[in-house]
Amino acid sequence: MELHTGSIVDTAEIEEAAFAEQQSAARSDTERYLSLSERTSHQLRSYLLGRKYLERVVDDMLLWACRCGLVDDRRYASAYIRSHSRNSPMGNFRIRMELKKRGITDSITDELLSRRDEGDLQQTLVKTVKNKYGYLERQTGLRRAMGYLQRRGFQYDLISRVMDEVFRNSGEQTD
């Protein structure tokens, strides 16, 4: 599209030219961004809007990335929950908050958290608490471990079961 002095400007034509111009750059940016790590559709949208792409270009890139399987919110949430059940345990409350920040819907989060194995999680927490606080005097270890697990977003009933299992040999009650 060429403009000359005195030309009549058609805004639809300008928008179409801008869309076509941004399409290629947005595709490259999208591919590069998604190659770094797994992302949610919300994260991709925020990234592209931050790069000042047109809303229409962003929507087009989101549709393309989802259709190609490059972005899958359910897969992201599942991997996040799995990771934070083993490596760096988090409670359901904290996971729910973190996934909400990343744009994962409550329905996906609820479904995936309902499948979480509490028994495995409890055993992971027992090992973690023993490693981190097992060497301390009972009251100090109990206090620090409870604070740690509360900050990680675990419910009181699970914390109580873990504390009972870890500190039961001392002969005192954890309540």
Q: pLDDT band at residue 133, thresholds of 50, 70 and 90?
A: very high
36: number of Cβ within 10 Å: 7
For 111-119, the CB contacts below 8 A with 24+ separation are 112/74, 112/77, 112/78, 112/81, 113/81, 116/81, 116/85, 116/92, 117/85, 118/158
> Could you give the CA distance from residue 67 to residue 109 in angstroms, rounded to a whole number?
21
Among candidate residues 88, 166, 89, the one with its CA nearest the CA of residue 134: 166
Place of tokens 């109990």: 142
pLDDT tens-place string over residues 57-116: 999 999 999 999 999 999 999 999 998 888 788 999 999 999 999 999 999 999 999 998
- pTM over 0.75? The answer is yes
Quote the mean pLDDT of the chain.
89
> Which are the contacts of 112, defined by CB distance < 8 A and separation ≥ 6?
74, 77, 78, 81
Place of tokens 């309540």: 175
∠ at Cα 148 (123, 106), nearest 5°?
75
